[in-house]
Structure 1
Amino acid sequence: MRNLHIDATKGVLIFLVVLGHYLERLIGWNEPLNQAILGSIYFVHMPAFILISGMFFKEEKILEKLIYFLSLYLPFQILFQLLDVFYNGSLWNWSFHLIWFIKPYWILWYLFSMGAWTFLAFFLKKTAYPFLFSLILALLIGCSPINNYNYSIGRIFVFLPFFMAGAIYGKTIFQYISQLPYAKLFAVITLLIITAVAALSQYSYYWLFGSLSYRQLHVDLGQGMLIRSVIMLLSILGILSLFIFTQNFKQPWIGLGQKTLPVYILHGYVIIILTHQLSFKYSVEINIFISFVLTIITCMVLQLQIFERFIRFISLFFYKSFMKLLEVLSIKKGL
């Protein structure tokens, strides 16, 4: 039986994902009001999404799962690159680049990372302290001298603890979240603190992306690990607060939460096309309002069954092709 609380939470989260991307494209991070809104969203939305994703992790058929995520990632990675080339005016002059496939395009870092998290969780769960090890990796990745943005290396490891938390503690969290004493008061205070931090603190928003090393963020290792630890703590508290608020949410959030995949993958194309075709030279307040309206419309349209079938059709073609290739190579299914 489906957990409608999880569905409702996913519905709120995908709405925040789409809203955040509209606000970024239409306004950006430099306007104080928009920075407060975006910061509040980014502290919570992807960490919560990743935690919920971890709840569905199972230690079986790992190879098939990796192929599934690759089958989702690869075709839309190509389509995003082609759309980008089209708007750059060089559609007929493009040449093959390996980086098209191994460096996730914008929102596709999540699909790319899902494969990595699934692979890492398989091995981490065989250790005595899987969550602790994932937390250590999240703090240490920022110490690496390499560019953490490339191939989503930074994001993979920075958000790994949220995936592991979902895989280990997720179901327990959803089971007992309503039993917390003064739960709603805790949630309100926590979200107010996060909003205040997002609005008033002088931080680089790249900290919330988890995509850069401490050197790239211009801090020393000790300061970097401390800042990252505080951000992760605020994100965890924010996730709990969101779960508290969504436990009584019903339609349309439940319906939207059951259709998050087509909304997540396809909203990027909608935003790119709209922002290239239309001009949004209005005040910050008006553009925030426009972002909310466009988010509602985008979520309503992309959750239609035709788009889910479209995603399934494309990914299934790649999935079957990869599976046939494995059969030819006589590789056993699963790990």
Structure 2
Amino acid sequence: MSILHSYISRDESTAVKGVLIFLIVLGHNILFTKYVEPVQGMGYLYCFHIQAFFLLPFLYGSEPLTKKRALCYFIRLYWPFLLLSGLLSIGFYNLYLHNNFNLWALFHTWLTGDVNLIRRYCGIQLLWFLPAMFAMSLFKDLYYHSHPAIRLILLFLSIVANFIIFLAIVDPEYYSLQSKIGSIIPLGMFPGISYLIFGVATRKIIAQIKINRGGGRKGFIFLFSFLICSITYFANTLYWNKGLVLIALKVMMPIIFIILLWYYSKNLSYYRMWKELGERTFLIYLIHPFIGYILYGLVIWRHYPDSLVLAAIAQLIMLIASYYFSTLISCTRRLKNIIQPRSAEGMCSVFRK
């Protein structure tokens, strides 16, 4: 099929985003992650849920990377990172920690989008997603509209990036190497290119499924495969503790999971909840951790014990409150065009009467 062809409709894609943002909120739900800490439940989610967000754009197809398209990616993804990281840095690093304003540190963070720098100067690391998605979007379009030799080079670089990332899992001593590279390579390109090979593989597998048909049986195969991977993860966590097993799961699970979501995306699109969450994914992602921190602070203050019921209540409040606030922002045109502009024209409209 043509590289311009999308394998998923707009409604289906929105529903898939809704499922993914639900899981991401769950991964940031401190009451939930503390409750499932003995079985490393948070680590389980991080085997596939955030990665699936990076793989979803490969289902849409791709267009040639022009200056206008690159600028659009920058405005939609990198500008919010610059704005929010700057504000959080002033609020956390300067006002809360009482440090002097460090222009070079802020510029270094802006230039690289490095997760460790973001954590150090902003207090939270969730903003790393924006520069990484920006870089991945550029690499995706560049890959599909380049000479085969360029494609091979990009895939090789993606493999190298993953090798370095996975090396730190096997031997934590190599984490400093991963951190050093992330603090040097600009524009989130190091994490961004690591997703390229997974995205290319995902699109090829889905293309073969579409060509060969036989959907029902294949859907069951992927569902069963994901179940086996999940059992393997918890067995490894509780009994084996093998880094190579975790690496194998981190390679397979994101691809299997996004294919599962793609396969059942039409069914998911029938449910309003998933579509409503999917429509507000970006702002929910930015807002929900702060609501989670407030809830966790209240639980500590009231000395409530860890429980699955409290975790479920917190999940519901985080989703509803972040959705409500994201709706308020979306209804305020100027504020939305400052935080989440869709184009250069949208940004410029902020300064018009």
Verify same fold: TM over 0.5.
yes
Matched, 1:9 2:16: yes
Partner letter of residue 160 of structure 1?
L
Asked if structure 1 preserves the Cα contact closer than 8 Å seen for 2:135 and 2:189, the reply is no
SS at match of 2:74: helix
* Distance change in 2, residues 1:170/1:114 (3 Å): farther
Cα distance, 1:258 vs structure 2 = 2.0
Matched, 1:48 2:52: yes
Aligned position for 1:292: 315
Asked if structure 2 preserves the Cα contact closer than 8 Å seen for 1:15 and 1:299, the reply is no
Asked if structure 2 preserves the Cα contact closer than 8 Å seen for 1:131 and 1:164, the reply is no
* Distance change in 2, residues 1:140/1:260 (3 Å): same
Aligned position for 2:169: none
Matched, 1:237 2:256: yes
- Of the structure 1 ranges 300-309 and 60-69, higher mean CA displacement relative to structure 2 is found in 300-309
Q: Using the alignment, how far apart are the partners of 1:319 and 1:29 within structure 2? A: 44
Cα RMSD, aligned residues only? 4.0
Cα distance, 1:201 vs structure 2 = 0.8
Cα distance, 1:248 vs structure 2 = 0.5
1:67-123 superposed Cα distances (whole Å, 9 cap, x missing partner): 31221211111233234337x833575443234423343121221012212332343
Matched, 1:160 2:196: yes
SS at match of 2:160: helix
Calculate percent identity across the aligned residue pairs: 19
Asked if structure 2 preserves the Cα contact closer than 8 Å seen for 1:7 and 1:253, the reply is yes
Aligned position for 2:336: 311
Asked if structure 2 preserves the Cα contact closer than 8 Å seen for 1:81 and 1:100, the reply is no
Cα distance, 1:277 vs structure 2 = 5.9
SS at match of 1:58: coil
SS at match of 1:148: helix
The number of equivalent residue pairs is 300
Q: Using the alignment, how far apart are the partners of 1:239 and 1:129 within structure 2? A: 28
Q: Using the alignment, how far apart are the partners of 2:21 and 2:98 within structure 1? A: 31
**How is 1:115-134 mapped onto 2 (pairs within 5 angstroms)?**
115-125=134-144, 126-128=146-148, 134=154
Aligned position for 1:147: 177
* Distance change in 2, residues 1:7/1:178 (3 Å): farther
Matched, 1:186 2:221: yes
Q: TM-score w.r.t. structure 1 length? A: 0.71
Give the counterpart of 1:79 among 61, 75, 87: 87
Partner letter of residue 311 of structure 1?
K
Asked if structure 1 preserves the Cα contact closer than 8 Å seen for 2:288 and 2:318, the reply is no
Q: Using the alignment, how far apart are the partners of 2:260 and 2:70 within structure 1? A: 35
**How is 1:193-212 mapped onto 2 (pairs within 5 angstroms)?**
193-202=228-237
Asked if structure 2 preserves the Cα contact closer than 8 Å seen for 1:141 and 1:154, the reply is yes
Q: Using the alignment, how far apart are the partners of 1:138 and 1:31 within structure 2? A: 31
Q: Using the alignment, how far apart are the partners of 1:31 and 1:40 within structure 2? A: 10
Structure 1 alignment gaps of length 5 or more: 204-217, 324-335
SS at match of 2:54: helix
Cα distance, 1:320 vs structure 2 = 6.9
